Amino acid sequence: MNNMVKFMDYMISTEPIRVIDLTLDPAKLSVRSLVIRNVGHLPGRTLFRHDAVFDHWAIVYIAGGSGSFQIKGGSPQRVKAGSLFFFQPGVVYNYGPDEGGYWDEFYFTVKGSRMEEWIRDWPIPVRTVAHPGVDASQQNRIDRIFALMESGQPANADRAALLLEATVFEWIQRQQPSPANVKNARLAQLLEDLSQSLYEPFDAKAFAERHHWSLSTLRRTVSEYTGFALHEYVHRLKIAEAKNRLLNTDQPVKEIAASLGYNDVFYFSRLFKKLSGEAPKLFREQRQSQR
């Protein structure tokens, strides 16, 4: 199913706008405490909105350009590339790019109890603009959320919500660049790169050199952070992706194994059973029968 809508609206943006709505019944979702209602990308946005009021929470990330954000009655706040702000239901906002300028906007409209928990337990800047900055890993996460939402599958809508929560958490952590947060951000980038390296045989030494870590430091850090030895953690990432492929594609087990860097399908099947408790074919058959 393709839920993507891409259209031109010259009153909003000079570039095609991309909007993806949740077309599923929320009752089909497993993650109901955080449901993404829709996501949108407004590249080249030129429209400035006055007295805007929203019915649901929205998370807005600005990847380029500049402008301002103002809660009515408050002072305008500057927005630049790498800025993050939130819209709260029922509050009046004035916001948008500078006159004669633009900004590149990604937004995520959400509902569910998790939003209130974020505000209670995290330092969420509900009334101020945050500046987590711009880097490739953040854009990769956003692209992944859009792709998951576009699939139209309940499990992928759940994955999109969980990935959005992880992304917002990272954005908030970047807000106060203490030495600990800098270290955590570097570690988060490393783990993100590990998760992006699933479709190839894993070479620990080459990976460590690429990230300017010693192999011993890489092993120790991953073990301390995840609770698993480096190679076991990589195997677990690969098996998690294999589960996703088994549930959401018709690819043969041998093909999935090879795509994840396991040329020996028997070794892959033994590893899959060891980490999940079931053989790959049985895992697929039982989950499909439950749908």
Q: Mind giving me the DSSP string for 40-83? A: EEEEEE---EEEEE-SSEEEEEEEEE-EEEEETTS--EEE-TTE
Residue 183 shares a structural domain with residue 280:
yes
Residue 18 shares a structural domain with residue 131:
yes
For residue 291, what pLDDT is reported?
Answer: 53
Q: Could you give the number of structural domains in the chain?
A: 2
For residue 1, what pLDDT is reported?
Answer: 43
> Cα–Cα distance between 280 and 285 in angstroms, integer?
9
Question: Where do we find the tokens 């043969």?
Answer: 252
For residue 164, what pLDDT is reported?
Answer: 94
Among the candidates 134, 156, 173, a domain finishes at 173
Cα 38-85-36 angle, rounded to 5 deg: 20
Q: What range defines the domain where residue 217 resides?
A: 178-291
Neighbour tally for 253: CB within 10 Å: 19
> Cα–Cα distance between 67 and 143 in angstroms, integer?
23
- What contacts 137, CB < 8 A, 6 or more positions away? 188, 189, 192, 193
Global confidence as pTM: 0.61
For residue 8, what pLDDT is reported?
Answer: 46
For residue 2, what pLDDT is reported?
Answer: 47
Integer CA distances (angstroms), 249 to 16, 45, 245, 255, 285, in order: 30, 37, 5, 11, 12
Order of strands, sheet of 77-79, starting from the edge strand that comes earlier in the sequence: 49-53, 92-97, 67-71, 77-79
CATH of the domain at 164: 2.60.120.280
Residue 285 shares a structural domain with residue 216:
yes
Can you give the pLDDT of all 291 residues of the chain as single tens digits? 445 555 445 578 778 889 999 988 888 898 889 999 999 999 999 999 999 999 999 999 999 999 999 999 899 999 999 999 999 999 999 999 999 999 999 999 999 999 888 888 888 888 999 998 888 778 889 999 999 999 989 999 999 999 999 999 888 877 655 445 555 666 777 777 787 778 878 889 988 888 788 999 889 888 888 888 999 989 998 998 898 888 888 899 999 999 999 999 999 999 999 988 889 999 888 776 655
Residue 221 shares a structural domain with residue 155:
no
For residue 99, what pLDDT is reported?
Answer: 92
Residue 191 shares a structural domain with residue 247:
yes
Beta pairing, strands 92-97 & 67-71: antiparallel
For residue 53, what pLDDT is reported?
Answer: 96
Among the candidates 134, 158, 173, a domain finishes at 173
